[in-house]
Amino acid sequence: MAQFGVTTALTSIVLSVFMAGLGVGSWFAGAMVRRYGDRIRFHPLRLYAVLELLIGLSALVVPAELVWGHRLLEGLADRAAVSSAAYYLISGVWLAATMVPFCACMGATIPVAMFAIRRRQQEADRRSFSFLYLANVLGAVLGSFLPLLLIEPYGFHRTLRIGAVLNVAIAVSAFVVTLASRPLQPRTSSSSGTAYGPTGSHRSALVLLFTTGLATMGMELIWIRVFTPWVGPVVYSFGMILVAYLLATFAGSQIYRYWSRNRSQESRLTWISLALLGMLPLLTADARVPLHLVARVFLGVMPFAGMIGFLTPMLVDRWSGGDPDRAGRAYAVNVMGCIVGPLVCGFLLLPLVGEHWSVLLLALPWFAMAFPIRRAPGFRPFSRASAYGILMLALVVLLATKDFETQFPDRKVRRDSTATVVAYGEGMQRRLLVNGMGMTKLTPITKMMAHLTLASLDHTPHSALIICFGMGTTFRSVVSWNISGTAVELVPSVPKLFSYFHADAPQLMASPLAHVVIDDGRRFLERSPAKYDAIIVDPPPPVQTAGSSLLYSQEFYTVARQRLEPGGILQQWLPEADHPTQAAVARAIESSFPYVRVFRGIEGWGWHFLASERPIPIRTAAELVARMLPGAVTDMMEWGPAPTPEQQVNRVLSYQTSIDKIIALSPATPALTDDRPINEYFLLRTPFGELMAMQ
């Protein structure tokens, strides 16, 4: 994200590359075992150890390669205008070259471990995939949460090194096991043909694996949308959704292990139940259902995930019968579904039909299983009635539940691949929600971001850049200075609601001075060679929002400084935050700019940081107002609260403070950097009582 941006397209590229690497590794490792397994004279766990060493190496190599790719793109942007499509293409190629080799090593571990089990000639080796899958998911539960605790005190790079040490420990352990084991003889060609248990020859198993992968990853995208209004947009919230999913997957896999000891054929109702279980998140996310946020997530996610945890290893075991090659191919097919699911759901279903109908479309295969073309074996009238009952209940949940935005009677809703955006309310009580989170309100604070900054320049301004559009208030205030205003917004639907908050929005958007760009703000700064008299940054609230650190970090200020005209000013808005976050942001700004002035917001909360490479003139309120055009003064006074322009400006000037005082709030806290996003990782330093209050 720091090197390539946080746009939906880039996020999708990273996820797709990661999953593709797993699939390639699984498929390739299985094929290599089939072709060369009988020739291997050493213990297969030594090959496993090599894979773990290579995965550990990725902790050192991948970050460096990402930096090199970023520099490559910077160099291209400096020489020529690189189109957005070309940028994505180059980014995708570089990310694939960087990640796929190491992700393939991860994907290869299960077929190689299955090969080791085969060599040991254990009786139950036809279920070896589910044995390894169960252990892998249990590790994933810990791996999805523990790094969040390490990143807070150590940062990303040192946490990666801890991960690398653990990979080395795994490799050493695997090698030690080979020394303690009795010598293993490779299987002969004659015996290899009878090495496995019975396999499912029907390709329906592969179709189901692809479908479950597609539906599961598509559902995860929907879960984030529907639960974010309740759990918030912070990394721990997303971690909670992931932990709930993995815990349930582990439980489902464990149940399958017990069930498969004496059974081999599941009921058709097992599959049909997915139609109902997939609807549960719509029920637990309904605002009318009184549940604690943890209960909303766990009760919504875990039943569906648990059933997937049961069915996925069952299908792979059934198809492979312990054969590493067949297991590798089956797992790769499942991964292909995992790649397609988020792309279809994120770029097609959610923007076009919303969360409710997206869930229904993803669940259609399970609905269809209740209507077999021919009578299924063992699917008797009672079972058929049960199936129809399950589907009826699923439809009741679908039709009876309501999306989060329906609680606002007077609203406008827009959906895109990034978010669901809601505008509601009347007059000064209008609000903007992105995935259920309040972004901003009609407040003079957002006007002062523009007017205070532009009036403080040591020269007449000609251009300004606004990062984060919001309601468009700051953008509107910039244009009132009769200068070129460019606003960069990550969520495509947000600027489309500009007219809901400001009646003159159509006229402003028609002005040749007004420009709106849909992009990641930091990525736009790095790609664009233009320079501005003012750069106004208003990151999405709350200050703990995942990814927002990239607009508060030292590295961001380095980029912004390069895009300022001589004497230009960066205005950084910082909402209320804990002392370490305030100190970290202040220290990052102080270390990036030689001249900084700090003012309290006009409503008595939040901070305006004005930073420049030249001294910022100290002017009285009357002098600042005198530098403003009549239209800018009118805009500034639109909502008050002071009766005169001089008093309005003086309310901000009277709240001036020293940046050293803010740093002194937490003097031991380092500057906020890409590697140490202090604002996003706060769990260890937050008292338990405050955490409960946040919920």
Short-list 570, 572, 574, 573, CA closest to 562: 570
pLDDT at 125 exceeding the cut of 90: no
> Tokens 């106004």 correspond to what residue?
536
Which of 20-24, 126-130, 462-466 is least confident?
Answer: 126-130
Domain spanning 438-694: which CATH class is it, in words?
Answer: alpha beta
pLDDT at 31 exceeding the cut of 60: yes
Kindly give the residue spans of alpha helices, DSSP state H, lying in 456-578.
473-479, 493-496, 498-501, 505-510, 521-527, 554-562
pLDDT of residue 196: 46
The pLDDT tens digits of the residues spanning 188-246 come to 443 344 344 444 456 788 999 999 999 999 999 999 999 999 999 999 999 999 999 99
Question: CA–CA separation, 561 vs 589, rounded Å?
Answer: 11
Work out the mean pLDDT of the chain and round it to a whole number.
Answer: 90
Which of 38-42, 274-278, 582-586, 613-617 is least confident?
Answer: 38-42
Which of 40-54, 75-89, 292-306, 619-633 is least confident?
Answer: 75-89
> Which value, in Å, is the radius of gyration of the alpha carbons in the chain?
28
What would the CATH number be for the domain defined by 8-188+208-400? 1.20.1250.20
Helix/strand/coil (H, E, C) string of 333-388? HHHHHHHHHHHHHHHHHHHHHHHHHHHHHHHHHHHHCCCCCCCCCCCCHHHHHHHH
Strands (E), 378-427: 411-415, 420-424
**What element of type H or E holds 442?**
none
pLDDT at 71 exceeding the cut of 60: yes
pLDDT at 378 exceeding the cut of 60: no
Q: Name the phi and psi angles at 186, rounded to 5.
A: -65, 150
Average pLDDT (157-164) is 95
Residue 505 Cα distances to 470, 474, 479, 516, 566, angstroms: 13, 12, 11, 12, 31
Q: Note whether 342 and 215 are within 8 A (CB).
A: no
pLDDT of residue 198: 44
- Percent of the chain clearing pLDDT 70 (strictly above): 93
Residue 275, number of CB atoms within 10 A of its CB? 27
Q: What is residue 461's three-state secondary structure?
A: coil
Average pLDDT (45-54) is 94
Domain borders along the chain are 8-188+208-400, 438-694
Number of H helices, E strands in the chain: 27, 12
Average pLDDT (86-113) is 91
The pLDDT tens digits of the residues spanning 576-628 come to 999 999 999 999 999 999 999 999 999 999 999 999 999 999 999 999 999 99
- Identify the residue with better confidence: 234 or 384: 234
